[in-house]
Chain A
């Protein structure tokens, strides 16, 4: 089945230790998104790639970076995680800006 895959599902890191979350898709969608969702809150868009074009949300901290080496893969890099970065990170894809298909998420714990 076509799907959005996120690895790992659970990630534990130490304060200040860089971490990378990965997302892959078999839907051949041209748009990929990264969201941060904290407990009982709405998903918050961090950035998205429209094809190869990177679009950063204005309030996304510089600590968060992203890479999209090809259509299928997208990475979220957190350069120096703080305690406030503990959250669920959701990857999603869409064909143009239509309905989005979400992965299961990666839950990040910062110790």
Chain B
């Protein structure tokens, strides 16, 4: 299975701090994607990083990918209360996206 596994399962930080979430996967991939899900809602695509890319930025988001270690990280800088949500990594390889179990981020104002 190429399912991503996020670490930690839950993270609680103060507003203004940085949040780092990690994702590990098992098989070769074409790309890795990060999604956010607010409670009881659909998922929102955050960023896609392809297998030949090592780092990507989007606003306050920074994603890294290390294909040799089969791992990725998502960094949210200067967190806000509105960033409170679950964050999922998802890998795309021989099959469509397979989601990890997610990291529940709580940002305390």
CA–CA, A43 to B95, complex, Å? 15
CA–CA, A56 to B43, complex, Å? 21
Tell me the dominant secondary structure on chain A's binding face: strand
- How many Å from the CB of A99 to the closest CB on chain B? 5
Interface size on B, residues (CB 8 A): 21
Flag if A99 contacts B33 (CB, 8 Å).
yes
Q: Determine which of A97, A99, A104 lies in contact with B42 in the assembled complex, contact meaning CB atoms within 8 Å.
A: A104
Interface 0/1 of B57-101, CB less than 8 Å to A: 000000000000000000000000000000010001001111111
Q: Determine which of B30, B40, B44, B99 lies in contact with A43 in the assembled complex, contact meaning CB atoms within 8 Å.
A: B99
Interface 0/1 of B31-50, CB less than 8 Å to A: 00101000011111100100
Give chain A's interface residues, CB within 8 Å of chain B.
4, 6, 31, 33, 41-45, 48, 55, 88, 90, 92, 97-105, 107
Give chain B's interface residues, CB within 8 Å of chain A.
3, 30, 33, 35, 40-45, 48, 88, 92, 95-102
